Amino acid sequence: MPARRPPSTPRPIRSAQRGFTLIEVLVALFILALMAGMAWQGVDMVVRSRESTQTRMDALLRLQSTVAQWEADLQSCIDTQLVPGLSFDGATLRLTRRQNEGVQVIAWTVRGQQLQRWAAPPVRQAELLQEAWMRSYQLLGNEPGSLTMLERVSGWQLHVFHNSSNAWSNAQSSGDVAAKAASPDPATGDATAVVATGNREQLPDGVRMLLTFAEGGSAVGTLVRDLRLVHP
């Protein structure tokens, strides 16, 4: 009787392995590229928004600093009775400010859509004070002591308030006139020590600034700022 062969174990049938087609790969790459582009757009929007916010914050801080400096100049305004304590000709505000080192001539002006501030060195001699006052009429904007405070300013106007009239008036018009003015002490020539000699215009009791901004800047419209002056 012939020997029986052991039954052979059937081999498993391998399932056919199917890969990605070229079209599927291209579609996947396109989707990945689209998602990456959208992500970069989001990052760019965040960066731009942050830069825009920072620019507005810087402009606001600069405006606040400018107004604070303007107020500080006016609060320290002094009538030496040698030159006008405060004068505005429609473009330039000139004033004399008391400092520890003497008296300082300050000029605020709008030139080329820029609000500029010029400060002369403090002096104690009447002659030097008058020279500094006259020099404030010859400013070009690039002198030592000149500083650009704001950009995109199309113009400005000032009004003054006098308690005697209880009303605001254009700063270019005549103000109240005191009974007496003064000249430097003839013994010392000190601009901070004065003696009465004639009539003079009094300092106002309040100043109103109207600052108009040009288009395209960070600020728009007109800024109105009122300041009460307290004279010693």
Stated pTM of the model: 0.72
> Which range of residues forms the domain containing residue 180?
54-228
Type of residue found at 175 = G
Q: Is residue 223 part of a domain?
A: yes
**Per-residue pLDDT tens digits for 184-224:** 554 455 555 443 334 457 899 999 999 999 987 778 899 99
Structure tokens that stand for 101 in this block: 């080192």
- pLDDT, residue 2, reads 57
Q: Is residue 151 part of a domain?
A: yes
- pLDDT, residue 174, reads 57
- pLDDT, residue 198, reads 40
Q: Is residue 208 part of a domain?
A: yes
- Which whole-number Å values give the CA distances from 195 to 59, 102, 122, 185, in the listed order? 45, 17, 21, 6
Does the pLDDT of residue 140 top 60, yes or no? yes
Rounded Cα gap, residues 11 and 226, in angstroms = 99
Q: Is residue 21 part of a domain?
A: no
Q: How would you label 2-13 residue by residue, b for 16+ Cβ within 10 Å and e otherwise?
A: eeeeeeeeeeee
Q: Is residue 20 part of a domain?
A: no
In the predicted model, what is the mean pLDDT of residues 25-35?
A: 86
Q: Is residue 25 part of a domain?
A: no
Does the pLDDT of residue 121 top 90, yes or no? yes
- pLDDT, residue 182, reads 45
Rounded Cα gap, residues 32 and 70, in angstroms = 57
Please tell me whether residue 209 adopts helix, strand or coil conformation. strand
**Per-residue pLDDT tens digits for 156-190:** 999 999 999 999 999 887 555 444 444 455 445 55
Q: Is residue 5 part of a domain?
A: no
Other Cβ atoms closer than 10 A to 213: 22
The count of domains in the chain is 1
Q: Is residue 190 part of a domain?
A: yes
